[in-house]
Structure 1
Amino acid sequence: MVMKYVKGVVLSRRLGRSLGINLLPDLICSEDCIYCECGTTRNLTLERKEYAPTDQVISELDRFLKKRPVADYITFSGLGEPTLHSGIGKIIDYLKDNYADYKIALLTNSSLLHKAEVRAEIKRLDLIVPSLDAGTEKTFKKICRPAEGLTLQLILDGIEAVSNEFNGEIRLEILFLKGVNDSDREVNELVDKIKDFKIDKVDINTLNRAPAVSGYKPVSKERLIKISEKIPFKTEIYI
């Protein structure tokens, strides 16, 4: 069966057996992160619209899930920011109404979580994994290269709002780059921003594949352990 929007089931380091949903098949994103393993963003935007036909995505999911595949999560991820897709809420509702025995996860760069309508659309998820890679605007812009109008404060506002409203699990994801956001000063700034969030866990990552921009290096496991000791939440390190 040839699938355009549904990928897997694949083994994920963090989510186990994951069935992926790619709603943005052409590198459409609100950020152009220097570390992205998918490559350079082709369409840098904050505009929400139906980038892939919602009904076709649902049809693919229906055909695949009727076979009852073994999966720990159905995961919105793919080649861009999933919440840019205006039909994500409809897809989540369809899955919850028809395949409630599957858990649903969202990997998000957090860029649209400050919008109440986005939070309403994703409220039925089981797991949200929002990312945050910096505690200062300067470092945020260096790492994430956001679309015009997107600021670190909007990212922080969105994650805080989700942490206050969401009933499922929240795992904050932070990716560290050597010499960019791994110094004590950078880590302290970041910890200060997240210390009051209501989250379940922090996933700590570093580069493990070639980044979109060459020249950047992973942080050592020893340094990541030191960083994890500063974070006031349960942490897990992924190398």
Structure 2
Amino acid sequence: MVLRNWQLAITNRKCFMYKYLFGPVSSRRLGISLGVDLVPPKTCSMDCVYCEAGRTTCLTLERREYYPTNEIIGELGNFLSGGPELDYITFSGAGEPTLHSGIGRIAEFIKGKYPDYKICLITNGTLLGDAKLAKELAAVDLVIPSLDAADEATFRKINRPGPLLSCSTLINSLASFRKTCKTSLWLEIFVVAGLNDSPESIEAIRKAVVRIKPDKVQLNSLDRPGAEKWVGKASEKELLPFVKALEPHVKVEIIGKPSVPEQEGKSKTISASDVERGILDLVRRRPCTLAEISSALALGKGRILPVIDAMAGAGRIKVEKMDRGLFYKLI
């Protein structure tokens, strides 16, 4: 049984809403994952066109304590003391987690007190060349950085970094981190049709991958609404040239649709206002389907749908149709 944060709250007879934790959610690549927010929404070093969290509002390279480290550790201790079944604890959220200067302390707390849990860092990779940060990440089991382009022009079109970042710097950082880190490294490539799928772009990415030497490459494409409406989902035909170019050098996989377990409507003691808070807590980070909300809150769809409909009718959230169904997101 997967024990979720809402179920812990019910057991304690209080609706304890975590400020920095979200989920657990069913991830397309990590299984059941507890998310940890380390920076405010959209605090990031880039402004990627496909980002499911929306446009970056604070474009920065400054590392500092954006949220109190001790408070994050306190929430993790409260949640993990219940012994939930998790595949990963994931530093991700709606911004760039390596910007938080306390990430090392948080990872060390998890490994020191709850060593059986695996930690994953999902990052754009822009800060991995920092030797101090690399040491801080020693307790992390898996790092998944991104490399969506290996030439400057395409990099700026897709990732829209600040003026101090360059494509060559990013590639150098990833290669340096790979040499010094003992953690597993999966490299994500987000395919944006018409931008990074030309033969020239793919060849540049191939050369960078050979240099970085990741354990695995994961090809990703739009699965839920992104920052820019013109970004679409890449077809299998558009992904295959990447597979053909990279497979001689590294294991390649295409990220698929997540398996979202159905939930029974058991928790009738939760009020509609608390369900609404839970929904907002999820969709403020990224757009979600009804099934994903149901799974994350451990509530049946029938318990959630009337609340969602009321929120949409009141203009608090909006609905966007994608290939995978209807997604609910903040206005």
Q: Give structure 1 regions of 4+ aligned residues with deviation exceeding 2 angstroms.
A: none
Shift of 1:238: 1.8
Q: 1:235 — aligned with what? A: 252
- Is the 2:37–2:97 Cα contact (8 Å) retained in structure 1? yes
2:85 pairs, out of 55, 65, 70, with 70
Deviation digits for residues 160-203 of structure 1 (CA, Å, limit 9, x no counterpart): 11211111211000000010001111101111122122321000
Please give the TM-score of this superposition, normalised by the length of structure 1: 0.97
Q: Percent identity?
A: 44
Report if the CA contact (8 A) 1:109-1:130 is conserved. Answer: yes
Quote the offset at 1:207 in angstroms: 1.0
Looking at structure 1, the residues matched to 204 and 41 of structure 2 have their Cα atoms a distance apart, in angstroms, of 34
Q: Secondary structure at the match of 1:17?
A: strand
Matching of residue 188 in structure 1 with residue 203 in structure 2: yes
Q: Does the Cα contact within 8 Å between 2:171 and 2:212 map onto a contact in 1?
A: no
How many residues are aligned here?
239
Report the CA distance between 1:222 and its aligned residue. Answer: 2.1
Structure (1/2) with the larger helix percentage: 2
* Alpha-carbon offset, residue 213 of structure 1: 1.3
Residue type matched to 1:237 in 2?
A: I
SS of equivalent residue, structure 2 residue 62: coil
Counterpart CA distance in 1 for 2:241 and 2:222 is 17
Does structure 1 conserve the Cα–Cα contact (< 8 Å) formed by 2:149 and 2:201? Answer: yes
Consecutive unaligned residues of structure 2, counting only runs of 5 or more, are 1-15, 257-331
Please say if residues 128 and 174 of structure 2, whose CA atoms lie closer than 8 Å, have aligned partners that are also in contact: yes
Question: How many angstroms does 1:149 deviate by?
Answer: 0.4
Mapped contact 2:193–2:238 kept (Cα < 8 A): no
Deviation of the 1:226 alpha carbon: 2.7
Q: Distance in 2 between matches of 1:128 and 1:225?
A: 25
Match of 2:127 in 1: 112
Distance 2:138 2:45 in 1: 21
| Matching of residue 135 in structure 1 with residue 150 in structure 2 | yes
Match of 1:37 among 52, 72, 90: 52
For residues 241 and 147 of structure 2, the distance between their equivalents in structure 1, rounded to whole angstroms, comes to 18
Aligned partner of 1:78: which letter?
Answer: G
CA deviation digits over 1:32-63, x for unaligned, max 9?
10110110111000001100110000000000
Q: Please show how residues 1-239 of structure 1 align to structure 2 within 5 Å.
A: 1-231=16-246, 232-239=249-256
SS of equivalent residue, structure 1 residue 80: coil
Cα separation, 2, equivalents of 1:169 and 1:229: 23
2-side partners of 1:83 and 1:227: how far apart? 28
TM-score by length of 2: 0.71
Give the deviation of 1:216 after TM superposition: 1.9
Contact kept? 1:225, 1:237, Cα under 8 Å: no
